């Protein structure tokens, strides 16, 4: 009996889907347009691969979704929850109120119910002041019926979560289980405004995530598939639906991560630079040990500063639909605007009226597509210059991502990668893996499952080494419980925060382990 | 005299990050405090030092402690206000204006937040012309101005009034109190008269920061290379173009110490730059040449945007231009070098001004 898995990646322009067998061989793949409601696009893509593949539906055991639902909702400021923002820390922090640094329109959408409550902790875990529970009850009664999601951030909650937990209990008591509650200590690390922004954004996309999850599960049911459903996370590992609906913010960067992971899998390379050429932009990222190199800088989501760990990417305004403008004197500009997903109607080779990078490549005979006659009139010399500049733009991006001058392998993926040549400056070789057009969906399908634990250890009693060992082995157990193959487990993240306020050199240790999804269906283990 | 609004604050913050030479704490949170205060109370008046009467009492407003604590436990805005009130009562005099103790990093912004709230003017002068980590490292100290009487205040309402025998004791006692207050506190110290500030302060330094910020902003708008313009506006020297090859950091006795290595590009191809830092960038050299050292300023700029990069922000593969800027002449005196020269920070080199190093390409 086979064990198949479905991988879906919802991008801004395309929804990609793949079906893999137990050896991760691609059985079927498709690209279909992303629809306004997203779910229809997912349904179409999934229906197509399942009909094409013709495998027994009861042998499809896993379904993974990588989606930009939440990212888009934040960027477009649409479909967001009605939220209340609660910060615990007053009188500290009043000089920088919640949402102060974020763009006006986002502040307007999310800042309707903002409360500053007395409480919070010092860096060493002492209370700044006692938690004002009376005010919390008052807030809970005030927002009842007006909000459906609450973001709670307490000062130094990564050191002590007491006040966030107490506040959460109060809101539950008054508002019941219907209201979603996001706690900052479960979302980010030290850095109040960044963690608070991330928590606010998380609270704002809970409904979007719920709709996406339900849509995906519904689409599977319509196809008669009873698979275990996972969501892709920023770090390239999977999370369960329950978890995704609670922490949807962890999905916002899964697109680039899946693309890098998919490129790594398809090319069988663990260290390389990956260039993903889409319709509007190209993203260059770096694979280190098969995972994306992470950015060390503050990451903005929809204009709000957060402190997530995200793949380190350079994005340049060069894609298959990028508009090329040529003046009478032969000077030209490339982008940054693009016809995007309307390339099939706008591009010259398709009978449209706009000169795009794709037309340039076709005019020079680099790509066979559309009707070459429609670009035959273009000045070859100018086209050569434009093409030369396009290649240079990519080469510069590659060079910026490198850590040394030595040439490295470059993997090209994405629909627009056909535009690029087979040799690039700074690349030891250029690899175009098979199925590279759906690398994201493959990255989603092959993603690993993870398990995480968080515990306080008294180092004076057991020592740091032993504490870490114990935490690691428990995290691995969690990952195995989630379906990971024990033989493939690795520790992907360790964080320890010393808790100076507790005796005996206490430290809070958080460990995350990840591994390949077991070859066997979970139910039969 | 002129008004400082939100755009000016944005520009000054960029200049503050540049003159912060990698340290000084991220101006970001200070910038937001200043913006919130200006949104709430209106624009701030900026005075030239000449416009301050000789006998007027002027006091800098600054934070003390760990910038990372401040990033989590931001101030309430009352601390600085209470510290000023306490100091006025102690001295029996009204404070005429405030100013930054250092223009590098977060402390450049805090006087604006307080000034907006109190309706006080800010004077365009500071005690460093850059950022340094210890509180005796100010030009006022070189001229014998005492740090105390000084006030520390926290958000809980606690205040400590310090009167110490010298600035080293101020540092020692204030540090200990700051830890008890939760790791960061607002201070009012180095109270002085207008005449002291004119004689001992580094003047027109906020204006320079604003120019830096504006230059970088305009260059971006016009798609021009900002670095040449920035170097010109700070009367500095481009030292090295390169790509970050290695970054080695550790936290030691409260300092973020470390070394960044840059592989040369363009005119520096084949060379390697080593940059040593302890919160701030302190020494830049290649295998062959010394390029710049404390107290002269060493700033690392993004080669494309011209934006300054802090030591935490230096990352593998980043293309940078390292520039050197001559420090204020007071730092080049014997006492100045004893306070903040390379030897004070544990580097066994003799100080040579950056303009001489740039001219001669001194071999070592």
SS (H, E, C) A119-144: CCECCCCCECCCCCHHHHHHHHHHHC
**Structure confidence at residue A524 (pLDDT):** 36
Query: Is residue B135 domain-shared with residue B18, that is, in the same domain?
Result: yes
Q: Which residues of A90-100 are buried (b: 16+ CB within 10 A; e: fewer)?
A: bbbbbbbbbbb
CA-based R_g, chain B, Å:
20
Is B68 an 8 Å CB contact of chain A? yes
Beta-carbon separation of B32 and A101 below 8 A: yes
Tokens of B246: 């290695």
Q: Return the axis-axis angle of helices B205-221 and B226-233, rounded to nearest 10°.
A: 170
- In chain B, how many domains are there? 2
Element containing residue B240 per DSSP (H, E): strand B237-252
Q: Is the pLDDT of residue B205 over 90?
A: yes
Say whether the peptide bond before residue A236 is cis (omega within 30 degrees of 0).
no
What is d(CA B45, CA B120) in angstroms, rounded to the nearest whole number?
A: 7
For residue A311, which residues of chain B lie inside 8 Å, CB to CB?
none
Q: Is residue B220 part of a domain?
A: no
For residue B183, which residues of chain A lie inside 8 Å, CB to CB?
122-124
**Structure confidence at residue A341 (pLDDT):** 76
β-bridge mates for residue B324, sequence order: B237, B298
Q: Is B252 exposed, middle or buried (0-12, 13-18, 19+ CB in 10 A)?
A: exposed
What is d(CA A109, CA A76) in angstroms, rounded to the nearest whole number?
A: 11
Query: Is residue B183 domain-shared with residue B247, that is, in the same domain?
Result: no
Last residue of a domain, one of B149, B172, B203: B203
Q: Which residues of A244-273 are buried (b: 16+ CB within 10 A; e: fewer)?
A: bbbbbbbbbbbbbbbbbbbbbbbbebeebb
What is d(CA A16, CA A11) in angstroms, rounded to the nearest whole number?
A: 8
Chain B contact probe: residue of A92, A130, A163 with most B CBs at under 10 A: A92
**Structure confidence at residue B146 (pLDDT):** 92
Q: Report the 10 Å Cβ neighbour count for B161.
A: 16
Q: Helices in chain B by DSSP H: which ranges?
A: 6-19, 28-41, 67-72, 78-91, 110-118, 139-142, 167-180, 194-200, 205-221, 226-233, 334-340, 354-360
Candidates B99, B30, B115, B12; CA nearest to B67 is B30
For residue A90, which residues of chain B lie inside 8 Å, CB to CB?
76
Last residue of a domain, one of B173, B203, B233: B203
For residue B316, which residues of chain A lie inside 8 Å, CB to CB?
293, 403
Beta-carbon separation of A95 and B36 below 8 A: yes
What is d(CA A372, CA A384) in angstroms, rounded to the nearest whole number?
A: 16
Residue pair B63/B107 in contact (Cβ under 8 Å)? The answer is yes
DSSP states of B6-31 = HHHHHHHHHHHHHHTTT-S--THHHH
Cα angle A119-A122-A124, degrees, rounded to a multiple of 5 = 140
Q: Is residue B343 part of a domain?
A: yes
**Structure confidence at residue A127 (pLDDT):** 95
Cα angle B56-B57-B61, degrees, rounded to a multiple of 5 = 140
CATH of the domain at B24: 3.40.1610.10
Query: Is residue B151 domain-shared with residue B44, that is, in the same domain?
Result: yes
Q: Which residue of B lies nearest to A90 if distances are taken between CA atoms?
A: B76
Q: Which of A93, A95, A402 lies nearest to residue B113, judging by beta carbons?
A: A95
Beta-carbon separation of A96 and B182 below 8 A: no
For residue B73, which residues of chain A lie inside 8 Å, CB to CB?
89, 92-93, 120, 122-123, 128, 155-156, 192
What is d(CA A311, CA A457) in angstroms, rounded to the nearest whole number?
A: 31
Q: Which of A91, A191, A401 lies nearest to residue B72, judging by beta carbons?
A: A191
Is A100 an 8 Å CB contact of chain B? yes
Residue pair B60/B102 in contact (Cβ under 8 Å)? The answer is no
CATH of the domain at B322: 2.40.390.10
Q: Is residue B210 part of a domain?
A: no
Q: Is B54 exposed, middle or buried (0-12, 13-18, 19+ CB in 10 A)?
A: exposed
What is d(CA A423, CA A357) in angstroms, rounded to the nearest whole number?
A: 18
Q: Show the domain range for B352.
A: 225-360
Query: Is residue B67 domain-shared with residue B190, that is, in the same domain?
Result: yes
Is A130 an 8 Å CB contact of chain B? no
Q: Is residue B217 part of a domain?
A: no
Q: Is A59 exposed, middle or buried (0-12, 13-18, 19+ CB in 10 A)?
A: middle
Which residue has better confidence, B68 or A153? A153
Is A17 an 8 Å CB contact of chain B? no
Query: Is residue B158 domain-shared with residue B94, that is, in the same domain?
Result: yes
Tokens of B273: 């730059």
Beta-carbon separation of A93 and B74 below 8 A: yes
Mean pLDDT for back-to-back runs of 10 residues, chain A (525 residues) = 88 87 91 82 91 91 89 87 98 95 92 98 91 98 97 94 97 96 90 94 95 89 89 87 91 89 94 91 89 78 83 88 91 87 89 95 93 93 95 91 83 92 94 92 90 83 88 91 87 76 75 79 41
What is d(CA B29, CA B26) in angstroms, rounded to the nearest whole number?
A: 7
DSSP states of A169-235 = HHHHHHH-SSSEEEEGGGT--S-HHHHHHHHHHHHHTHHHHHHHHHHHHHHHHHTT---EEEEE-TT
Which residue has better confidence, B52 or A479? B52
**Structure confidence at residue A521 (pLDDT):** 46
Instruction: Over range B55-74, report the average pLDDT.
Output: 90
Residue pair A285/A273 in contact (Cβ under 8 Å)? The answer is yes
State residue A337 phi and psi, 5-degree precision. -80, 160
Query: Is residue B247 domain-shared with residue B186, that is, in the same domain?
Result: no
Residues 6+ apart with CB under 8 A from A119: A88, A89, A90, A127, A128, A129, A130, A131, A132, A154, A155, A163
Residue pair A227/A250 in contact (Cβ under 8 Å)? The answer is no
Tokens of A190: 């030290």
Say whether the peptide bond before residue A220 is cis (omega within 30 degrees of 0).
no
Query: Is residue B273 domain-shared with residue B150, that is, in the same domain?
Result: no
Query: Is residue B134 domain-shared with residue B178, that is, in the same domain?
Result: yes
How many residues in total does chain B contain?
A: 364
State residue A74 phi and psi, 5-degree precision. -70, -45
Q: Is residue B112 part of a domain?
A: yes
Say whether the peptide bond before residue A166 is cis (omega within 30 degrees of 0).
no
Q: Is residue B286 part of a domain?
A: yes
Query: Is residue B139 domain-shared with residue B254, that is, in the same domain?
Result: no
Residue pair B331/B320 in contact (Cβ under 8 Å)? The answer is no
What is d(CA A265, CA A188) in angstroms, rounded to the nearest whole number?
A: 29
Nearest 10 degrees: Cα torsion A408, A299, B256, B354: 70
What is d(CA B291, CA B352) in angstroms, rounded to the nearest whole number?
A: 9
What is d(CA A267, CA A256) in angstroms, rounded to the nearest whole number?
A: 17
Chain B contact probe: residue of A95, A399, A406 with most B CBs at under 10 A: A95
| Strand, helix or coil for residue A41 | helix
Q: Is the pLDDT of residue B165 over 90?
A: yes
Q: Is residue B271 part of a domain?
A: yes
Q: Report the 10 Å Cβ neighbour count for B196.
A: 17
Is A93 an 8 Å CB contact of chain B? yes
Query: Is residue B112 domain-shared with residue B237, that is, in the same domain?
Result: no
**Structure confidence at residue B251 (pLDDT):** 62
Q: Which of A94, A129, A404 lies nearest to residue B156, judging by beta carbons?
A: A129
Query: Is residue B53 domain-shared with residue B172, that is, in the same domain?
Result: yes
Which residue has better confidence, A308 or B187? B187
Query: Is residue B306 domain-shared with residue B158, that is, in the same domain?
Result: no
pTM of structure = 0.87
Residue pair B261/B244 in contact (Cβ under 8 Å)? The answer is yes
In A34-173 the beta strands, taken as DSSP E runs, fall at 60-67, 83-90, 114-118, 149-154
Q: Is residue B34 part of a domain?
A: yes
Candidates B135, B107, B118, B122; CA nearest to B77 is B118
Residue pair B99/B129 in contact (Cβ under 8 Å)? The answer is no
Is B156 an 8 Å CB contact of chain A? yes
How distant, in Å, are the alpha carbons of A84, A382, B32, B120, B299 from that of A114?
Answer: 6, 57, 17, 30, 39
Say whether the peptide bond before residue A467 is cis (omega within 30 degrees of 0).
no
| Strand, helix or coil for residue B184 | strand
């Amino acid at each position: 009996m086979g064990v198949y898995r479905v991988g879906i990646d919802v991008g801004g322009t395309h929804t990609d889907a793949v079906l893999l067998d137990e050896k991760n061989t691609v059985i079927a793949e498709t690209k279909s347009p992303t629809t306004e409601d997203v779910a229809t696009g997912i349904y179409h893509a999934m229906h197509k691969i399942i009909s094409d593949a013709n495998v027994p539906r009861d042998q499809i055991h896993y379904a993974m979704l990588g989606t930009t639902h939440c990212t888009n909702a934040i960027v477009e400021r649409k479909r967001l929850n009605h939220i209340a923002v609660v910060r615990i820390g007053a009188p500290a922090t009043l000089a920088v109120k919640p949402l102060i640094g974020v763009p006006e329109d986002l502040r307007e959408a999310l800042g309707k119910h903002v409360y500053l409550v007395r409480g919070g902790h010092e860096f060493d875990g002492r209370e700044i002041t006692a938690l004002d529970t009376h005010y919390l009850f008052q807030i809970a009664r005030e927002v009842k019926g007006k909000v459906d999601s609450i973001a709670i951030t307490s000062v130094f909650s990564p050191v002590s979560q007491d006040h966030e937990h107490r506040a959460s209990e109060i809101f539950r008591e008054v508002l019941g289980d219907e209201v979603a509650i996001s706690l900052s200590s479960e979302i980010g690390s030290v850095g109040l405004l960044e963690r608070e922004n991330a928590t606010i954004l998380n609270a704002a996309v809970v409904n979007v995530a719920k709709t996406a999850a339900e849509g995906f599960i519904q689409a599977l049911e319509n196809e008669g598939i009873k698979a275990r459903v996972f969501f892709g996370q920023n770090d390239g590992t999977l999370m369960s639906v329950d978890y995704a609906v609670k922490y949807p913010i962890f999905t916002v960067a899964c697109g680039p991560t899946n693309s890098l992971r998919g490129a790594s899998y398809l090319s069988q390379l663990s260290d390389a630079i990956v260039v993903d050429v889409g319709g509007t932009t190209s993203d260059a990222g770096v694979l280190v040990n098969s995972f994306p190199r992470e950015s060390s800088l503050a990451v903005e989501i929809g204009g709000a500063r957060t402190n997530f760990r995200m793949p380190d990417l350079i994005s340049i305004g060069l894609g298959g639909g990028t508009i090329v403008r040529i003046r009478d004197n032969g000077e030209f500009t490339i982008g940054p605007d693009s016809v995007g997903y309307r390339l099939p109607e706008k591009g010259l080779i398709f009978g449209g009226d706009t000169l795009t990078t794709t037309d340039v490549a076709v005019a020079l005979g680099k790509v066979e597509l559309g009707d070459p006659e429609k670009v035959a009139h273009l000045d070859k010399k100018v086209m050569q210059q434009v093409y030369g500049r396009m290649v240079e733009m990519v080469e510069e991006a590659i060079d910026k991502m490198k850590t040394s001058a030595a040439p490295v392998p470059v993997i090209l993926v994405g629909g627009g990668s056909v535009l690029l040549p087979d040799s690039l400056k700074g690349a030891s070789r250029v690899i175009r893996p098979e199925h590279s057009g759906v690398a994201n969906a493959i990255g989603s399908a092959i993603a690993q499952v993870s398990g995480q634990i968080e515990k306080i250890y008294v180092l004076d009693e057991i020592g740091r080494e032993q504490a870490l060992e114990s935490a690691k082995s428990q995290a691995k157990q969690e990952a195995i419980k989630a379906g990971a193959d024990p033989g493939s487990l690795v520790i992907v993240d360790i964080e320890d925060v010393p808790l100076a306020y507790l005796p005996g050199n206490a430290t809070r240790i958080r460990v995350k382990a990840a591994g390949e999804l077991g070859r066997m269906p979970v139910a039969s283990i | 005299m002129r008004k400082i609004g939100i755009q000016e604050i944005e520009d000054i913050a960029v200049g503050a990050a540049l003159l912060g030479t990698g340290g000084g704490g991220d101006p970001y949170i200070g910038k937001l405090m200043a913006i919130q205060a200006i949104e709430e109370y209106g624009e701030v008046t900026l005075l030239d030092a000449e416009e301050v009467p000789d006998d007027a009492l002027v006091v800098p407003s600054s934070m003390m402690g760990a910038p990372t604590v401040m990033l989590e436990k931001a101030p309430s805005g009352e601390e600085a206000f209470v510290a000023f009130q306490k100091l006025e009562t102690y001295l029996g005099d009204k404070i005429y204006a405030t100013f930054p103790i250092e223009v590098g990093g977060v402390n450049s912004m805090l006087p604006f937040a307080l000034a907006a709230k109190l309706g006080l003017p800010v004077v365009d002068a500071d005690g460093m012309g850059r950022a340094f980590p210890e509180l005796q490292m100010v030009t006022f100290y070189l001229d014998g101005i005492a740090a105390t009487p000084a006030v520390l205040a926290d958000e809980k309402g606690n205040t400590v009034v310090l009167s110490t025998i010298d600035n080293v004791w101020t540092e020692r006692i204030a540090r200990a109190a700051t830890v008890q207050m939760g790791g960061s506190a607002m201070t009012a110290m180095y109270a002085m008269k207008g005449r002291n500030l004119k004689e001992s302060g580094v003047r027109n330094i906020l204006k320079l920061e604003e120019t830096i910020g504006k230059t970088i902003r305009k260059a971006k708008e016009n798609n021009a290379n900002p670095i040449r313009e920035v170097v010109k506006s700070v009367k500095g020297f481009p030292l090295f173009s390169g790509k970050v090859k290695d970054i080695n950091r550790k936290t030691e006795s409260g300092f973020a110490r470390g070394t960044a290595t840059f592989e040369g590009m363009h005119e520096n191809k084949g060379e390697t730059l080593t940059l040593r830092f302890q919160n701030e960038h302190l020494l830049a050299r290649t295998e062959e040449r010394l390029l710049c050292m404390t107290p002269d300023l060493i700033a690392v700029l993004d080669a494309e945007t011209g934006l300054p990069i802090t030591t935490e922000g230096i990352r593998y593969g980043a293309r940078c231009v390292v520039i050197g800027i001559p420090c204020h002449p007071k730092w080049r005196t014997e006492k100045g070098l004893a306070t903040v020269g390379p030897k004070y920070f544990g580097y066994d080199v003799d100080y040579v001004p950056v303009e001489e190093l740039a001219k001669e390409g001194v071999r070592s």
